[in-house]
Amino acid sequence: MNETLTILQQNLGQALWETFEMVFISGLIGVIFGTIIGLALYYFASPLFSPRPVVNTVVGFIINAIRSFPFLILMVVLIPFAKWVAGDPYTPMGGAVSLTVAAVPFFARLAEGAFAEIDQGVIEAARSTGASFWLIFQEVLFPEALPALIRGIVLTIISLIGYSAMVGTIGAGGIGNLAIQFGYNRYETGVLISVIIILVIIVQVIQWIGDRLAAHFTRA
């Protein structure tokens, strides 16, 4: 028990910070680029805008291809790429690279769905005012899709926290790494359990915040 506390005291703060770093960077980039790609997928599929089935199919194919990689394999395949981008692939920054590559197509599909669910009639009404696409995006697509986008962000962050544990096992650090190194390799069951409890709490809190935010932006 004392040993567990000592290990946690010495490593937990650092591990949490590393996990945060990885999830924050990959989540942020994933949401930004995922939204752009999701919007493009929607734009080129919707008969209300500019349907270009070829563009939609090609982009959709690439996204599906990346998403069909089991994350463990994606991570290993991307080690050279992570090295090129972040210098050392076995750091939180290196780990964030493969997480980002996984997050972008994941969130792109969620964003596409969020836009596609908007009532077509509202968009038709917006188009009939003669508004530009940019104005329609700002004033119609974005506010109407926002609650669904927030739920998508929550889902993405929670998935990334899970994946970040996997990145930890190949040495990128983080809370998953802590659990494996001490809890599994050194039979410190106390550390393992503590990490699980912390993860459960973190996920619950994120979900709660996300639900509150989504509800706040829904006026229906």
Partner 1 sequence: MSQIEINDVSVTFNQKGRDVKAVQDVSLKIEKGEIYGVVGLSGAGKSTLVRTINGLQRPTTGTVNVAGVDITHANKKILSETRKKIGFIFQNFNLINNRTVAQNIAFALTAGGYPEKQQPEKIDELLGRVGLQDRKDTYPTQLSGGQKQRVGIARALANDPEILLCDEATSALDLETAEEIITILKDINTRLNITIVFITHQLEVAKDLFDRVAVMENGRIVEQTTAYNLFARPQSDMATRLVNRFLTTQLPDDVIHWLANLPGRILTLKYQGDDSLNPIITEIARDTGVEISILQGRIEFIHNQAIGILSVFVTGEPEAVIRAITAFKTKVNSVEVTPK
User: Collapsing DSSP states into helix, strand and coil, what is residue 130?
Assistant: coil
Residue 219 binding partner 1, by CB under 8 A: yes
Structure tokens belonging to residue 78: 């991307």
Query: Shortest distance, CB of residue 125 to partner 1, whole angstroms?
Result: 4
Query: Shortest distance, CB of residue 38 to partner 1, whole angstroms?
Result: 18
CB 23 within 8 A of CB 157: yes
Residue 93 binding partner 1, by CB under 8 A: no
Query: Shortest distance, CB of residue 210 to partner 1, whole angstroms?
Result: 17
Residue 124 binding partner 1, by CB under 8 A: yes
Query: Per-residue x/- mask for partner 1, residues 125 to 144, rule CB under 8 A?
Result: xxxxxxxx--x---xx--xx
The amino acid at residue 119 is D
Number of residues located near partner 1, criterion CB under 8 A: 23
Q: Of 147 and 173, which CB lies nearer to partner 1 in the complex structure?
A: 147
25 sits in which H/E element:
helix 2-45
Q: Of 122 and 200, which CB lies nearer to partner 1 in the complex structure?
A: 122
The binder of partner 1 chosen from 119, 186, 196, 197 (CB under 8 A): 119
Whose tokens are 């409890």? That residue is 197
Cα–Cα distance for residue pair 125/12, rounded to 1 Å? 53
The binder of partner 1 chosen from 40, 85, 146, 206 (CB under 8 A): 146
206 sits in which H/E element:
helix 189-216
Cα–Cα distance for residue pair 201/197, rounded to 1 Å? 6
Query: Per-residue x/- mask for partner 1, residues 199 to 218, rule CB under 8 A?
Result: ------------------xx
Q: Of 204 and 218, which CB lies nearer to partner 1 in the complex structure?
A: 218
In 68-188, alpha helices (H): 71-77, 79-86, 92-116, 120-128, 133-136, 142-167, 175-178
List interacting residues with partner 1 (CB under 8 A): 119, 121-122, 124-132, 135, 139-140, 143-144, 146-147, 217-220
